């Protein structure tokens, strides 16, 4: 019976751990004055959020570690998932810490952050190589696959850096990333379970529970922000799970919200630099809807619903048509 319900048990356990850690950790952050700095070019309605404790992603990571070590069979696969997640979470932690100490909205420079992401990507590739990881790409909804061989390495770096930054960009409203993240990881828990990759499924379920537990404190009005500690850690976890389940290309569908958010930034920058005009009132896209008059909660719920659509489509393509 336990085996049949292990995903539910894992989600509940991670959720409870996060909910228990939160009331202890948030006051601790307040005492240390680890408050969020609000970027000046952001929506004016966000100024009132200045000083809200950040680095709350630590809550997610702690709940994840405890739960995974309890319910998963710890082997190379779990080590890989934890290495990538905690590695990118550490980069985010350093970024958050510098922001707080310097009392500014800029932590690590773009070059420093990129260098850290590349180094972690190299470490991830070496570990995958020792594991004899499959270097082919599987096309969603089909049985086609493309063998990349050594070209899998640059693709892996692109996937890791692209995913972590896309997820990071999405973290801009109370509960936005926590909700869309829980949905995406929930989809991967299902995919991994149907693919009989039970340890990856348990890891994904643990992230779902940890993020939902964090959402208790992060829903509007947020009492704590996850910061780059959480957003980069979650981005790393999402990419790592896609790699383990051999659904690297499917990630673009399951993480459709993150892709759209990133494209909105790219389109905005290209349009402004080439035409001197902005396509959106502000990017990422969630800020555009804010400035059109939508309430923050309306934007967040709408993005959650879009995330459910993308996640459902991804599960259908992988589980129903192939498995």
Please tell me the predicted confidence (pLDDT) of residue 42. Answer: 54
- pLDDT greater than 90 at residue 320: no
How far does the chain reach from its first CA to its final CA, in angstroms?
Answer: 24
Contact 194, 187 (CB under 8 A): no
3-state secondary structure of 289: helix
Q: Is the dihedral of CA 118, 123, 125, 126 positive or negative?
A: positive
* Lowest-pLDDT range of 221-225, 235-239, 247-251: 221-225
**DSSP class per residue in 182-203:** HHHHHHHHHHHHHTT-HHHHHH
The tokens describing 169, both together, are 């960009």
Distance CA 120, CA 228 (A): 16
Please tell me the predicted confidence (pLDDT) of residue 110. Answer: 85
Rounded to an integer, the average pLDDT of 122-149 is: 93
The tokens describing 84, both together, are 């990538």
Please tell me the predicted confidence (pLDDT) of residue 85. Answer: 98
* Lowest-pLDDT range of 38-42, 82-86, 144-148: 38-42
* Lowest-pLDDT range of 78-87, 94-103, 282-291: 94-103
* Residue 228 annotated as lining a ligand binding site: yes
- pLDDT greater than 60 at residue 228: yes
Would you give the DSSP letter of residue 149?
G
Distance CA 228, CA 165 (A): 10
User: What is the percent of the chain where pLDDT is above 70?
Assistant: 91
Contact 48, 6 (CB under 8 A): no
Report yes or no on whether pTM surpasses 0.75: yes
* Residue 199 annotated as lining a ligand binding site: no
The tokens describing 128, both together, are 């995958």
Exposure string over 224-248, b if 16+ CB within 10 A, otherwise e = bbbbbbbbbbbbbbbbbbbbbbbbb
Please tell me the predicted confidence (pLDDT) of residue 97. Answer: 87
Please tell me the predicted confidence (pLDDT) of residue 2. Answer: 47
pLDDT tens digits, one per residue of 261-297: 999 999 999 999 989 889 999 989 999 999 999 999 9
Among candidate residues 287, 281, 252, the one with its CA nearest the CA of residue 268: 281
- pLDDT greater than 50 at residue 159: yes
Domains in the chain: boundaries: 5-321
């Amino acid at each position: 019976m336990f085996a049949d319900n292990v995903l539910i048990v894992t989600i509940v356990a991670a959720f409870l751990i996060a909910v228990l850690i939160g009331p202890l950790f948030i006051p601790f952050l307040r005492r240390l004055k680890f408050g969020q700095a609000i970027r000046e070019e952001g929506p004016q309605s966000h100024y009132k959020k200045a000083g809200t404790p950040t680095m709350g992603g630590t809550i997610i990571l702690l709940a994840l570690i405890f739960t995974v070590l309890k319910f998963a069979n710890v082997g190379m696969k779990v080590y890989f998932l934890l290495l990538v997640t905690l590695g990118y979470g550490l980069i985010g932690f350093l970024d958050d810490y510098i922001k707080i100490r310097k009392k500014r909205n800029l932590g690590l420079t773009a070059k420093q952050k990129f260098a850290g992401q590349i180094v972690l990507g190299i470490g991830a590739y070496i570990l995958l190589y020792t594991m004899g990881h499959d270097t082919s790409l599987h096309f969603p909804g089909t049985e086609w696959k493309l063998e990349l061989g050594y070209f899998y390495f640059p693709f892996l770096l692109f996937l890791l850096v692209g995913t972590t930054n896309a997820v990071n960009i999405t973290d801009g409203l109370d509960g936005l990333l926590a909700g869309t993240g829980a949905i995406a990881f929930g989809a991967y828990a299902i995919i991994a379970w149907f693919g009989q990759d039970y340890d990856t499924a348990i890891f994904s379920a643990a992230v779902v529970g940890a993020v939902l537990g964090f959402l208790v404190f992060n829903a509007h009005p947020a009492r704590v922000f996850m910061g780059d500690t959480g957003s980069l850690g979650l981005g790393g976890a999402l990419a790592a799970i896609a790699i383990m389940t051999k659904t690297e290309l499917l990630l673009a569908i399951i993480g459709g919200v993150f892709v759209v958010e990133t494209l909105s930034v790219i389109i905005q920058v290209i349009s402004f630099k080439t035409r001197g005009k902005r396509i959106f009132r502000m990017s990422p896209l969630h800020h555009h809807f804010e400035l059109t008059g939508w309430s923050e909660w309306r934007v967040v719920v709408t993005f959650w619903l879009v995330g459910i659509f993308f996640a459902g489509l991804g599960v259908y393509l992988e589980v129903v048509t192939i498995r």
